[in-house]
Structure 1
């Protein structure tokens, strides 16, 4: 029995990764033309490989007949370089004239994100069932599938954010281990800790995330706030008075920022090395130090992003992202055949069971956090409070900044791909609680949802969860042709337009 469990511990995650890989790499080279914003990012990636920084192309042909039609003239890119360097890795391996070259790196990033999500699920819950469920939900999430099959930047960003979150959670565990071994002082455990290797690594990763898209800084800021609040609560729980706990927590927050932020800045600047060593890159002036030129370039980029108001048929207000009400169609062609008209399209239409289920699960976790905080013994049930708050922080860090600060109309549903790992984790955690799996960490365990403990009731909930997961897999199979550009009859395509905004 122990041998079976040992093998299952490795086999189950590998099977989930295999599902993720098949869904993302199947027919990856189709279509053989650039789709949506691949027109910009793939071209930038190829010319950046040749020159160290993007250059202008001689045409705007999405069919991409000549993959070497770039010029020597510097091109104005409105996003940092790292995502395009990553696209370029696939181009180096498979060549610039095939969809495998353009998309293989982001597909691999998608599979890696599923693996990281499973690892984070395990560390949050110590449950193989919850970890593999989170990975399977992400592997079959329509938004994540599509955004890791097209050569855009957001699939890479989701990977970096998930990895940064994993490292942040390792920092939480690292501190818990040290606190457990430390002797409490007269006012509780109040030591300010400077040696934080996992936090340093997280800062580097989030800096790299910003080197893909600036929005990669939002999660870093959110998790730093999470760490500060958690530190304050732990000091109070250790017996420190509010005044002393607040002061020491403020000092610890400063130390945390000193560790993480310079690392993030260093990692971010490193992503610009190609531009820095390219004397004829956009905005470079031989008479001006590169740092001044880079600062001016960033001011131009910020101005562009803050004033982008061009209308777009697929723009979607951030308030609609959690429910996937307006997917961004990436590609669509029609021709006669299939007993009528044939359609081949790529659209990140959500699997409603996964997307809406994830939104509902996040509300459950929010309720658990509130319940833990308002009850007198809240701090003794650390796993419920800490795990739920951590997942909520990850999700809200990719959504609330857009919701609260958006000042332009040109924002899109596919930006929400960074939310999908946390939505999958939330849904897996809640489904695990329904199945009677306690919310646990490496050091403690506590029940989450207080449900009927009767064995018959528990068996019924487990059966319902199994039916839900089978239905989610079936829905993903049903929508797979619309995610992967497979040719289908028009009636089949129309039958999948379940909501008015999906057309």
Structure 2
């Protein structure tokens, strides 16, 4: 890596600090249960108290129960604990809710408490973004640009300030990708050292234990343990890692590079990117295995005939539970006013209104009508710019087969294209924020395109100046666009007219609020 290692860490940390300020300031606002927080913050608290998700007294969406929780009255949970059957069927694995629970344990059952882990994951993802972009471009400047652009994305900001699962999915996917990029450098370093000391023959060497690839498998298993859609990235990145190994062996001139990869690299990849993710996923269910109150647990039967039967019957019950969840997702067709289709997501045709109270008094903003909104939408300048960058990456990859362009395009495809199947085959209820795991790769597309515009360090000064002007102007436009949207991303109280001017399309709202 060129440049100063100190600067390579200090500059991304400063960018992450900036992003963290945007995410943590007024994190407890709005003081309300926002969108699907009504499910996840309650499930997280139940995990904290019982080790499994258990039903609260009454309907989980009951606004009266939400108001009691906001007032600090947690009887809705204690009352359920006194009932005989409080097991709750949940549609997602538990890791993301355990992460939310950590914030509730630290800061209490408050909006700040249940949003803390999301804000932390969002902030850390900015640091990871800057570091992985720096590694891919060998430029601290471009790495910091990547972190800054991610910090200024509206959808990333909203999900970092809301107790939903998707920001945790995004974090673990990005972390897994970053580990694989580090593993690529590590493996090529080992091959280069072997090449310098040995004749180039046969299939090449064994590379031994690869800690970065193992770490990638754990991270991608954690992504699956937040939401099942992490499996799309796991499969795509496993193929990508093996292709990188084959390319590395071919690049040093081995006579049988593919045989070497199949013999020496693929078995290790199977362990790191199949067994390790499976273990991480299973480990996230520890609370369900260790307690008696989970859905479908059948604890009395499992403990009736000795430890061997306990393990067998527990696994049988757990597999049945996973099949029940699969059936639930396959039939998820309930209408929602802010649902959207995958082809609408990249152009931001239908964002999600997370919060818009209808009872604000005129005194709240000094006008006849006031608004306080949390709109789950990306920063348009960044998203539309990323579409152009992705097109440029397609042309770049076709012309040069550059690994960076191929990796970004594959990751984008893995996070977006599978949803077309569910839209066509299942008519499934889907939302714009399902795109959040690919937002880092949209940012990487922009940064790689920026690198092409800037050129190499030895490029003509005029070329460098023109590229710097274009890239700087784009970053400034994204910053201004984000600043314009900021009030409707963070529940600032503004006039209705100010809110209305920020709605780019009429499809951004179901109807004009009264």
Q: TM > 0.5 between the two? A: yes
Q: State whether residues 188 and 239 of structure 1, in contact with CA within 8 Å, keep that contact through their aligned partners in structure 2.
A: no
The separation in 1 between residues aligned to 2:448 and 2:295, in whole angstroms, is: 47
Per-residue Cα deviation, 1:178-198 (whole angstroms, up to 9, x for no partner):
111113665565445452221
**Shift, 1:170, TM fit:** 1.2
Inter-CA distance 7–245: structure 2 relative to 1 (3 Å threshold): closer
**Shift, 1:31, TM fit:** 1.5
Which structure 2 residues correspond to residues 74-473 of structure 1 after superposition, within 5 A?
74-96=87-109, 98-183=110-195, 190-240=204-254, 244-251=256-263, 252-285=265-298, 286-288=300-302, 289-334=313-358, 335-337=360-362, 338-373=366-401, 385-406=402-423, 407-437=426-456, 454-473=460-479
Aligned to 2:76: 69
Name whichever of 336-345 and 86-95 sits farther off.
336-345
Q: State whether residues 454 and 463 of structure 2, in contact with CA within 8 Å, keep that contact through their aligned partners in structure 1.
A: no
SS of alignment partner, residue 357 of structure 2: strand
**Shift, 1:410, TM fit:** 0.6
Aligned to 1:46: 45
SS of alignment partner, residue 55 of structure 1: coil
The separation in 2 between residues aligned to 1:233 and 1:410, in whole angstroms, is: 40
SS of alignment partner, residue 241 of structure 2: helix
Alignment pair present for 1:482 and 2:494: no
List alignment gaps of at least 5 residues for structure 2: 303-312, 510-514
**Shift, 1:400, TM fit:** 2.1
Q: State whether residues 311 and 409 of structure 1, in contact with CA within 8 Å, keep that contact through their aligned partners in structure 2.
A: no
Q: State whether residues 454 and 466 of structure 2, in contact with CA within 8 Å, keep that contact through their aligned partners in structure 1.
A: no
**Shift, 1:397, TM fit:** 2.1
Aligned residue pairs total 474
> Over the residues paired in the alignment, what is the CA RMSD in angstroms?
2.2
Inter-CA distance 482–422: structure 2 relative to 1 (3 Å threshold): same
Per-residue Cα deviation, 1:345-395 (whole angstroms, up to 9, x for no partner):
11122211111112221222222111114xxxxxxxxxxx12222222322
Q: State whether residues 54 and 293 of structure 2, in contact with CA within 8 Å, keep that contact through their aligned partners in structure 1.
A: no
Q: State whether residues 121 and 168 of structure 2, in contact with CA within 8 Å, keep that contact through their aligned partners in structure 1.
A: yes
The separation in 1 between residues aligned to 2:199 and 2:206, in whole angstroms, is: 12
Inter-CA distance 158–179: structure 2 relative to 1 (3 Å threshold): same
The separation in 1 between residues aligned to 2:216 and 2:328, in whole angstroms, is: 29
SS of alignment partner, residue 206 of structure 1: helix
**Shift, 1:9, TM fit:** 4.6
Name whichever of 397-406 and 340-349 sits farther off.
397-406
SS of alignment partner, residue 57 of structure 1: coil
The separation in 1 between residues aligned to 2:159 and 2:502, in whole angstroms, is: 19
The separation in 2 between residues aligned to 1:436 and 1:236, in whole angstroms, is: 27
SS of alignment partner, residue 53 of structure 1: coil
List alignment gaps of at least 5 residues for structure 1: 374-384, 439-446, 448-452
The separation in 1 between residues aligned to 2:410 and 2:199, in whole angstroms, is: 31
Name whichever of 63-72 and 170-179 sits farther off.
63-72
Q: State whether residues 179 and 189 of structure 1, in contact with CA within 8 Å, keep that contact through their aligned partners in structure 2.
A: no
Q: State whether residues 187 and 238 of structure 1, in contact with CA within 8 Å, keep that contact through their aligned partners in structure 2.
A: no
The normalised TM-score by structure 1 is 0.89
Per-residue Cα deviation, 1:312-371 (whole angstroms, up to 9, x for no partner):
111121122222221111111133424221011111222111111122212222221111
Q: State whether residues 434 and 461 of structure 1, in contact with CA within 8 Å, keep that contact through their aligned partners in structure 2.
A: yes
Q: State whether residues 351 and 472 of structure 1, in contact with CA within 8 Å, keep that contact through their aligned partners in structure 2.
A: yes
Inter-CA distance 417–435: structure 2 relative to 1 (3 Å threshold): same
Alignment pair present for 1:16 and 2:15: yes
Name whichever of 76-85 and 424-433 sits farther off.
424-433
The separation in 1 between residues aligned to 2:207 and 2:11, in whole angstroms, is: 38
The separation in 2 between residues aligned to 1:358 and 1:332, in whole angstroms, is: 29
Aligned to 1:381: none
The separation in 1 between residues aligned to 2:11 and 2:455, in whole angstroms, is: 20
